[in-house]
Structure 1
């Protein structure tokens, strides 16, 4: 299955032709199918996992994605496709967020490249991850994707599929030879944690329901028959309900209320353990899931930096390399073109830190004023494209008594 087969498969999935003789892609792109099954149920019922997936997917979808040539943004059809509308039904934000939700629940996210009549990419359509399996072609050893369609199975070459994943599997079946090509589902990793958390929640609800009901110990001064006990209990219940919870203690009877905690404090310790395990699996600081105990404001800023550098950067790098490899030609890449997510907005910190950073950058000659204005989303100003060096900076080898004019402010034009 080489180039001819790839071309044949590509022509079978032209824009607007999702079904035909012998193939039907219609249900692959149905939004209701993408999150079907146990994974969706876990995502909808476990708040901690939902928070982690929501945090990661929203963070990635919020990052600006542009095509650059070296350091200059480039606007062409493929750049416009990714930046605005990867397919007729989604914005760029929706597309990246959907891919991230699939990646963080199933372990893999797939988007099929749809071509126009000129064999140019016209759309990127997310697929149901449960219907896709990476396989290696026996003779060529090339990676293909086996897709379970509604009327059979189809094979798509790896260059026609965008695939981002979590940590890949090891020790797959030798029949598929797919070691390293399929990601592990974080929810599968968290199965024991989810089950344990569910049992604790069930126990807590039962405990809370029983604690809401008032309970008493009735101590009688003498032994009575079963019939008399039942009569006393019924009279007590009727009196209690009829008088709004007011009880009159008669002689010969001692009433002791049973005190219960509505929620055991150890339940909160279990929730902390769950948050810690979920944060570990998703490789993110636990404070991103609402666990702020023991963290000050200054440490929170450092932890946010850790989230960007330790969590987002590897994900960003995976997306960039996948998009560069499969949406750009080798010639375009050799000319310096490449997709980049802008993570600088997440690294700027507070106003004071940002101001000091820009101040040092301009005075030291590695920022122009207009570059700083661009970071702050302000329009450029005339004369702002020059690099400046402060006049109070003197080279370490400056001779004493050197004429003042040689130490005047230096203006360097780019």
Structure 2
């Protein structure tokens, strides 16, 4: 941002009587609770399918290794160490990413405020309750700000000081809440379950059909019914069928098979809204182990990659300066961590990559959490095997030397 733009923006802040952006946030309480606390439970705690979907997405995001790179090489900095290990005084890096993703998936938007130390370096990232944050655009500069509602009024934070990850949205900068999209599905599922419980309650009360002859008087019917009840009570449910009386048990299915069809519909709709394969929600009908790898690849490619890209661009834009980005620095999640196959598949992949000059031996060892070995920092190609920088004539001579000592 140019100096003239900064001056103009500062004047707009003074003119509109904006509050200080980040001072005293740690002491903010509103309506008896901290704006950093947020609300727990809700639909997430009462619907198993949505809980499973959000758990899958948040755990997948939090499990991905996050590193700062410079031209494909991992590097470290105080900020990268902060976000990977201790984004704030209360969270680990895993918990921070998972919490942000849970809030994004249940509220549509997740916000984390950048806090600075005395040297104006980012010292922590504090997660805000999205109920008290509203994106706004300054009318003169067209800059995006975030209006945070506090106990003494409104505080405005510039977009570069706020990490904001969200679901898809239309005009504006606020993501759509997936729970709102699923409101009808959740209500339908709830009503079907309640109807099933009501049926179960009535089915327990009526268990037998007692048949009598048509010429039995009313007094005789009452006597037979009373004897039936007394005999059933005294003999622990064992009945003796006499002449002129038929006793048929009522066959009851305590769980209506159609309830499972409703659950399939619910799982299908939740999977569509969260853009995840339905087999990840426990619906494995028609899924075989042969197709699992392809389905997992579909989950990573179509579900995780867009989410990961959003986090990466937020971190790159707001945790790195333009000069740092021009020097080749960037944050990156290692999505390959979700695609690691079994031991046989990994072995074949590493074998092909090393023989074709794709991986160095030490790079393969690093992927398998093994220490580097001397001589493992060269690329090899099959031949069988030469260092990739060895001239062709030396390869042939070396081959002759081996065959003809």
Q: How does 1:329-348 map to 2 (within 5 A)?
A: 329-348=321-340
Question: Contact 1:52 / 1:279 at 8 angstroms: preserved in 2?
Answer: yes
Distance 2:220 2:43 in 1: 51
The Cα shift of 1:197 comes to 0.7
Alignment check: 8 A CA contact 2:146 2:156 kept = yes
Q: Does 1:406 align with 2:396?
A: yes
Matched, 1:62 2:71: no
1:104 equivalent to 2:101? Answer no
Give the drift of 1:54.
Answer: 0.4
1:12, distance to aligned residue in structure 2 (A): 1.1
Instruction: Answer yes or no: is 1:305 the counterpart of 2:297.
Output: yes
**Aligned partners of 1:76, 1:228: CA distance in 2, in Å?**
93
Q: Distance in 2 between matches of 1:282 and 1:100?
A: 12
Once the two structures are superposed, residues 35-77 of structure 1 have per-residue CA deviations (whole angstroms, 9 ceiling, x without a partner) of 3xxxx32111110100000000011011111111121212111
- Say whether the 8 Å CA contact 1:348–1:354 is kept in structure 2: yes
With normalisation by structure 1, the TM-score equals 0.86
Tell me, yes or no, if structure 1 residue 12 matches structure 2 residue 23. yes
The corresponding residue for 1:399 is none
Q: Provide, for residues 183-238 of structure 1, a one-character-per-residue CA deviation record: whole Å limited to 9, x for no partner.
A: 11111111111111111111222223333445211122245566664554344233
Describe how 1:9-408 pairs up with structure 2 within 5 A: 9-13=20-24, 17-19=26-28, 27-30=34-37, 33-35=38-40, 40-168=41-169, 170=170, 179-213=171-205, 215-222=207-214, 229-391=221-383, 406=396, 408=398
* Secondary structure in structure 1 of the residue aligned to 2:197: helix
1:2 to 1:242, Cα distance in 2 relative to 1, 3 A: farther
Measure the CA separation in 1 of the matches of 2:220 and 2:121: 89
Contact conserved, 2:28 with 2:150, CA < 8 A, in 1?
A: no
The 2-side partners of 1:25 and 1:363 are apart by 64
CA distance in 1, matches of 2:319, 2:394: 56
For structure 1, the 5+ residue unaligned runs are 171-178, 395-401, 410-414
Equivalent residue number for residue 398 of structure 1: none
Instruction: Determine the structure 1 residue equivalent to 2:402.
Output: none
Residues 225, 28 of structure 1: alpha-carbon distance in 2 compared, 3 angstrom cutoff: farther
Moved more, 384-393 or 81-90: 384-393
Query: Which residue number corresponds to residue 397 of structure 1?
Result: none
- Secondary structure in structure 1 of the residue aligned to 2:243: coil
Secondary structure of 1:255's counterpart equals strand
On the 8 A contact 1:25/1:150 being kept in 2, the answer is no
- Which is further off, 362-371 or 200-209? 200-209
Give how far 1:25 is off.
11
| Paired residue total | 383
Contact 2:19 2:154 in 1 (8 A): no
Q: Output the CA distance in 1 between the equivalents of 2:59 and 2:116.
A: 28
Q: Contact (CA 8 Å) 2:147, 2:154: kept in 1 or not?
A: yes
1:201 match: secondary structure: helix
CA contact (8 A) 1:18 1:26 kept: no
Per the alignment, do residues 258 and 78 of structure 1 end up closer, same or farther by CA in structure 2, a change over 3 Å counting?
A: same
The worse-fitting range, judged by mean Cα deviation, of 231-240 and 322-331 is 231-240
CA contact under 8 A between 1:136 and 1:144: conserved in structure 2? yes
Q: Please list every run of 5 or more consecutive structure 2 residues that lacks an aligned counterpart in the other structure.
A: 1-7, 387-391, 400-405
Deviations for 1:349-373, whole angstroms, at most 9, x for unmatched residues?
A: 2222211111111111121100000
Deviation at 1:13, TM superposition (A): 4.0
Is the partner of 1:9 in helix, strand or coil?
coil
| TM-score between both structures, scaled by the size of structure 2 | 0.88
Higher mean alpha-carbon deviation, 124-133 vs 375-384, is at: 124-133
The CA RMSD measured in Å over matched residues stands at 2.6
Q: List per-residue Cα deviations over 1:233-287 (Å, max 9, x = no partner).
A: 3442332222111112233222122112111111111111111111111001111
